[in-house]
Structure 1
Amino acid sequence: MPASDQILSVAQMRAAEDRLIAGGISVEALMDQAGQGAADWVWRIAGTRRVTVLCGPGNNGGDGYVLAEAIRRRGGDVCVVAPYDARTDAARNARQLYQGEIVDPEADISGEVFVDCLFGSGLTRPLSEQDEALLLRLAEAHRLRVAVDLPSGIAADTGALLSSIPAFDLTLALGAWKFAHFLMPAVAGMGSLRLVEIGIDPVSGAARRLTAPRIIAPAGSAHKYTRGMLAIVGGEMPGAAVLAATAAQGAGAGYVRVVGERPDNLPIDLVADERALSDALDDRRTGAILVGPGLGRDHAAAERLAAALHAPAPCVLDADALMLLDASSMADRTAPAIATPHDGELAALERAFVCDGSLPKPQRAMNLAARSGMVIVAKGPDTIVASPDGRVVLADRGNSWLSTAGTGDVLSGTIASRLATGLEAFTAACEGVWLHAHAARRCPPAFTAADLAKAVPQALADCL
């Protein structure tokens, strides 16, 4: 994993910086690299227009002084607001090196770009009333807002809001991504995300950011079965299964079947397998099974779920299947399984598998994966993919237009299609999540789930 893709906790980041310092790099050199890198981004936005940098007492404030001096040397119009004296040696050194204007926090200040360097990722308590008021006032007085490392008032490891914070247009992660860069509610107000690298080495066992997959086109000798056959178990709401199947057709599988009673709205290029469910699912050519979209929650639905879990193929469990699932259902299963719960379904699974639902979302997904043996795709505006072996990936904030009925069916169909091609379950889940999000980016605003499903092949094409 490239170091630029890793996501570090506050403790992991401090340890990584300590290793650099032990190797001979000074705190001042790291601060200079971070501040200069952040200044590059601010300069692109502001140029010679007025920039106001709010500097706190610690090393995040020191980064701000370095940034301000870099802007000043380039001929920019910059001032610093410093409500505190610098309290670390590196921050004091950076303040001494800054040769520009320092403005009283009570002054009437306005400009083009506001840069928040008040507190960094180590903050664990709410801002004082004075700091919160100053942050909000300065943000309001500028057209554009940039947060350095994290907006002040955010818990780096959880994404929790410790105070009221303004919305930012750009957030510059320093050294490595933090969990809050991908977690709600914090990420909703961060704007665009960019990473300023300072030489942090890869950290063993670190979470990582979801990146675009590299997908290989089928071999010249390929046919529908070698590309992967996917069976989708229908139910009382057949439209959901058809929607998932439409997405699956565009995500790589060569043969998609809807098993069970034939839906009235089945497109001509989808196959309906109306054999007894156990016979249809026992086909040795089946690369994966999807069960859940439109399944229902009655006795017949429970029987369809049991048949899917009894079959030897890997499976994806979504929607109603997750509400019917219990720990005993998975006790004897050896084939891989992927579960794709939204928040309510995640809570139901935690009750079924006796997991703590009060923890931050990444830890909840990791614990459920370890307890259940399934790959967990904890979906929503923030999406986490966790494997039973401890691997964890966080996706970028989702397109808000995905908040419409049926997009979860598209996601499960996309993941199941990647699984049917023969991919390892965690990889299939990650690729499916990325393709789903990228398809949404390709759609116009206010798209439907059907629009999204039709955009999946375009998203796949972008990965070839």
Structure 2
Amino acid sequence: MADSFSHVLLTPDEMARADHAAIAAGVPGVELMAAAGQAVADAIQARWLVGTVLVLCGPGNNGGDGFVVARRLLAEGWRVRVALLGELGNLQGDAAWHAHQWRNEIHALDPRLLDGVDLVVDALFGAGLSRDVDGLAAEILGEVAKRNLPVCAVDVPSGLDGATGQVRGMAVKAALTVTFFRKKPGHLLLPGRELCGEIVLADIGFPATVQQTVDARTFENAPALWSARLLRPNADMHKYKRGHVLVNGGANMTGAARLAALGAARIGAGLVTIATPPQAWAVYAAAMTSVMVEALPGDDLAPALIDKRRNALVLGPGAGVTEQTKRNVLAAAATGRALVLDADALSVFADQPSTLFSALRGPCVLTPHDGEFARLFSISGDKLSRARSAAQRSGTVVVLKGADTVVAEPGGRAVLNANAPAWLATGGSGDVLAGMVAGLLAQGVPVFEAACAAVWMHGEAANLAGPGLISEDLPSLLPQVLRQFYVG
């Protein structure tokens, strides 16, 4: 994966280390806090008319940012009220210094302060909150939600865990969240992403050397991470150089394998073949033109695996949860070729996942949704940690699908995807994705990058389609997505 630090996601602990590294490099913490508060004030000024604002300040550095915001907005003509959770004398360090620069009244938290307010600045708790929000903080945040007041959150909405995207006790949806240096996983993982509203990432003056102190393992999915690994067309290119994808077509639910085959073909595989039981051959053959259809002698996929030029295999879409599906997966795994397993190819191993994992010989991508994931892995926790654990346990790249898809590889790297629109949640879209991953694998794209690229392109195609998308639309939109990488 290309080194693209701008797409790094930092956990709260990693962000704390980055803070310390910036200070060690010579940037005073008080200046970083001043820059953070100024960035929040600037973002507010760009989005709201001058009015009355209540700044809710917490007992830590997030509260210190809030005091800076209050001073900057007051200077711009806002009518500013400041409320502090706890005692002023208990503030420490940079937060205490900035709090003492506020020369006006500091109120105790009280829901009555919300009367007549046009905007609330939530600077109570940052991304590293270690306990549930309760007491006075929960009371006033609950009143903010009840009154449906617009909120600008500093770093994250209070109560949102920056590492997991989960809510600690409670959190109020923000219209705007301003965060600093790098986003956190919680900004992208659900429900965090929905709670953050618009996210502004502000540069507050971290030295470039800080990058060298952070061992980045989590990224926001973007072309900068994988576009250099895509196969570049050239004058001597021919179809076999672009690879040959073999899709195992089921006998009954034939649409799933067809969608996978079209996804593989449209993303650039040179050849695509659907191998199907003989009773379904006519159905597939009548529907496909550029995709070849091969009748198996029975339900056994093994004869179709003899041709080694078929270098990427897709099993599972529409296959059925049967013993034959299990045998076909094991036969495909034994070839050591690039393998994408989805749907029934995963569910069929629910009772014996170790049998599947121990059989794998080559690069493999598993593409489960949450239900399939739960059947195959007995892993609890947040989505990012579950995907990472599953990748390590299975020795594969795991694409844990959803509106906040996570792609994880056994070595610990993970990518969070955030470009998929809500209308991508439609039957068959996952089958297209499985084919897209295989199509990139067939072209020689490394396994982790192939999965990340396919997930991102899948989301971009859905954005091009807009509301009303059905899964058949996705393959035909891929040329528009690919054009940005291959034309001009």
TM-score by length of 1: 0.92
Q: CA RMSD in A?
A: 2.3
| Deviation readout 1:203-246 (Å, 9 max, x if unpaired) | 11431111124356411221221122111111131110101122
Any idea what SS the aligned residue of 2:412 has? coil
Of 93, 100, 125, which aligns to 1:96?
100
User: Which protein has the bigger helix share?
Assistant: 2
Any idea what SS the aligned residue of 1:258 has? strand
- In structure 1, what is the equivalent of residue 407 of structure 2? 385
Cα separation, 1, equivalents of 2:469 and 2:153: 31
Counterparts of 1:60-209 in structure 2, within 5 Å, are 60-86=62-88, 87-98=91-102, 105=110, 106-141=112-147, 144-198=150-204, 199=206, 200-202=210-212, 203-209=214-220
Q: Conserved in 1, the CA contact under 8 Å of 2:55 and 2:81?
A: yes
Cα separation, 2, equivalents of 1:336 and 1:253: 17
| Deviation readout 1:358-395 (Å, 9 max, x if unpaired) | 23222222222122111111111221111112211112
Cα separation, 2, equivalents of 1:75 and 1:218: 58
Q: Conserved in 2, the CA contact under 8 Å of 1:161 and 1:186?
A: yes
| Deviation readout 1:179-213 (Å, 9 max, x if unpaired) | 21122222222222232233252511431111124
1:451 and 2:473 are equivalent in the alignment:
yes
Instruction: Look up the equivalent residue of 1:333 and give its one-letter code.
Output: L
Counterparts of 1:181-330 in structure 2, within 5 Å, are 181-198=187-204, 199=206, 200-202=210-212, 203-212=214-223, 213-214=226-227, 215=230, 217-236=232-251, 237-261=253-277, 262=281, 264-265=283-284, 266-275=287-296, 277-325=301-349, 326-330=353-357
Cα separation, 1, equivalents of 2:306 and 2:153: 54
Q: Conserved in 2, the CA contact under 8 Å of 1:278 and 1:311?
A: no
Cα separation, 2, equivalents of 1:358 and 1:280: 38
| Deviation readout 1:106-133 (Å, 9 max, x if unpaired) | 3343444332111111212222232112
Q: Conserved in 1, the CA contact under 8 Å of 2:333 and 2:359?
A: no
- In structure 2, what is the equivalent of residue 402 of structure 1? 424
| Deviation readout 1:255-295 (Å, 9 max, x if unpaired) | 22111232615222221122553232232222311111111
The offset of 1:433, in angstroms, is: 0.8
Where structure 2 has 5 or more consecutive residues not aligned to the other structure, the ranges are none
The offset of 1:330, in angstroms, is: 3.7
Residue 33 to residue 2, structure 1, CA distance change in 2 (3 Å): farther
Q: Conserved in 2, the CA contact under 8 Å of 1:171 and 1:193?
A: yes
Residue 443 to residue 77, structure 1, CA distance change in 2 (3 Å): farther
Residue 138 to residue 13, structure 1, CA distance change in 2 (3 Å): same
Q: Conserved in 1, the CA contact under 8 Å of 2:114 and 2:144?
A: no
Q: Conserved in 1, the CA contact under 8 Å of 2:9 and 2:185?
A: yes
Instruction: Look up the equivalent residue of 1:223 and give its one-letter code.
Output: H
Of 20, 29, 32, which aligns to 1:30?
32
Greater mean alpha carbon deviation, residues 225-234 or residues 439-448 = 439-448
Instruction: Look up the equivalent residue of 1:228 and give its one-letter code.
Output: G
Cα separation, 2, equivalents of 1:190 and 1:439: 25
Cα separation, 1, equivalents of 2:432 and 2:359: 29
Any idea what SS the aligned residue of 1:156 has? coil
Cα separation, 1, equivalents of 2:259 and 2:282: 12
Greater mean alpha carbon deviation, residues 268-277 or residues 437-446 = 268-277
Instruction: Look up the equivalent residue of 1:118 and give its one-letter code.
Output: L
Residue 331 to residue 126, structure 1, CA distance change in 2 (3 Å): closer
Cα separation, 1, equivalents of 2:180 and 2:484: 29
TM-score by length of 2: 0.87
Cα separation, 2, equivalents of 1:146 and 1:100: 21
- In structure 2, what is the equivalent of residue 354 of structure 1? none
Cα separation, 2, equivalents of 1:446 and 1:250: 21
Of 57, 60, 66, which aligns to 2:59?
57
- In structure 2, what is the equivalent of residue 437 of structure 1? 459
Instruction: Look up the equivalent residue of 1:374 and give its one-letter code.
Output: T
Of 362, 365, 381, which aligns to 1:335?
362
Where structure 1 has 5 or more consecutive residues not aligned to the other structure, the ranges are 352-356
| Deviation readout 1:394-444 (Å, 9 max, x if unpaired) | 122642222221111122111111111111100100101111111122222
The offset of 1:151, in angstroms, is: 0.7
Residue 272 to residue 101, structure 1, CA distance change in 2 (3 Å): farther
Instruction: Look up the equivalent residue of 1:94 and give its one-letter code.
Output: H
Instruction: Look up the equivalent residue of 1:127 and give its one-letter code.
Output: V
Cα separation, 2, equivalents of 1:220 and 1:138: 62
